[in-house]
């Protein structure tokens, strides 16, 4: 009995010593609060979700989401402009704490970064040159189709294009602004983007009109954070939920996109 008691004391002391020697690990939530700054990666060539206003200041749906998160954390918001291809590297290299960038929550990407529940959904749509005659997806055969590198529209289109032999006419650009300009200038016949971006582009360029919706499924997008920082991702999930419950999500969608905000719940999935 005595020996068992002494062994228990020794084991207990050893565990206590182990915990005492292990430094406390602060997580991303603590870091952001302690630093007094939230670094948000935002794609600024994706109007009206992210863009620069007439004063060259960041604006749009994603920018205000970043500012809302910073306000909830009682810190300052810092917008870090990002291209589509830079979204994940910003998190992996710790140059940003979070990314608001219409990022699809694919299983492949989830090996590298962490995702929240959906905070916005989109469907892919084309913009086309006025004189191209493109009105359906099938009309893309033989056309010069352009998209931003690393985006879901690019990846989904190329799956189909390679099967049909259309990929030889594909053009990849580093930003959506370059895609829009290529179509406007006649360097490309079709530009792939999302439904939210079509109206601003058509309003901006006289040579561009709205094209057909793409045949792949709705794109559910998430806020992105470090993959291993579960407590930070939990906080971000709560933030996304609060934005919906408070009506802020619907308010910002109406302000920047117009109409009713789309339902974020995925059919058959519990969030």
Helix (H, G, I), strand (E, B) or coil at 210: strand
Q: Is the pLDDT of residue 46 over 90?
A: no
Q: At what angle do helices 195-204 and 176-184 cross, to 10 degrees?
A: 50
Mean pLDDT of the chain: 89
Q: Is the pLDDT of residue 191 over 70?
A: yes
| CB hemisphere CA count around 74 (13 angstroms) | 3
Please tell me what DSSP assigns to residue 182.
Answer: H
Task: Express each pLDDT in 115-153 by its tens digit.
Answer: 999 999 988 999 999 999 999 999 999 999 999 998 889
CB 129 within 8 A of CB 208: yes
Report angle CA 223, 226, 231 to the nearest 5 degrees: 85
Tell me, what's the pLDDT at 25?
55
Q: Is the pLDDT of residue 100 over 50?
A: yes
| CB hemisphere CA count around 139 (13 angstroms) | 16
- Split at pLDDT 50, 70, 90, the class of 26 is low
The total of other beta-carbon atoms located within 10 Å of residue 212's CB is: 17
Place of tokens 């430094």: 23
CB 42 within 8 A of CB 29: no
Summarize the confidence of residues 100-106 as an average pLDDT: 91
Task: Express each pLDDT in 211-254 by its tens digit.
Answer: 999 998 888 899 999 999 999 999 999 999 999 999 999 999 99
Backbone phi, psi, residue 116, to 5°: -90, 180
Q: What is this structure's pTM?
A: 0.72
């Amino acid at each position: 009995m005595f020996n068992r008691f002494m062994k228990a004391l020794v084991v207990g002391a050893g565990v206590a010593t182990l915990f005492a020697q292990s430094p406390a690990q602060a997580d991303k939530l603590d870091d952001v609060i302690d630093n007094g700054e939230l670094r948000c990666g935002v794609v600024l060539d994706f109007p009206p979700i992210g863009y620069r206003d007439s004063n060259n200041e960041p604006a749009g749906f994603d920018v205000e989401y970043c500012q809302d998160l910073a306000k909830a954390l009682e810190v300052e918001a810092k917008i870090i402009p990002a291209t589509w291809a830079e979204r994940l590297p910003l998190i992996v290299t710790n140059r940003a704490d979070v990314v608001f960038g219409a990022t699809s929550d694919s299983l492949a990407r989830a090996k590298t970064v962490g995702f929240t529940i959906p905070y916005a959904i989109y469907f892919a749509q084309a913009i086309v040159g006025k004189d191209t005659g493109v009105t359906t997806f099938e009309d893309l055969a033989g056309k010069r189709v352009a998209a931003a590198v690393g985006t879901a529209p690019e990846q989904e289109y190329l799956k189909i294009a390679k099967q049909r032999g259309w990929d030889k006419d594909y053009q990849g650009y580093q930003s959506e602004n370059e895609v829009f300009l290529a179509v406007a200038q006649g360097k490309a016949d079709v530009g792939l983007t999302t439904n939210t971006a079509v109206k601003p582009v058509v309003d901006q360029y006289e040579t561009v009109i709205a094209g057909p919706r793409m045949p792949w499924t709705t794109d559910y997008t998430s806020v992105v954070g470090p993959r291993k920082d579960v407590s930070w991702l939990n906080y971000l999930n709560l933030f996304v939920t609060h934005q919906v419950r408070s009506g802020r999500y619907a308010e910002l969608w109406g302000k920047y996109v117009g109409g009713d905000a789309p339902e974020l719940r995925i059919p058959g999935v519990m969030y």
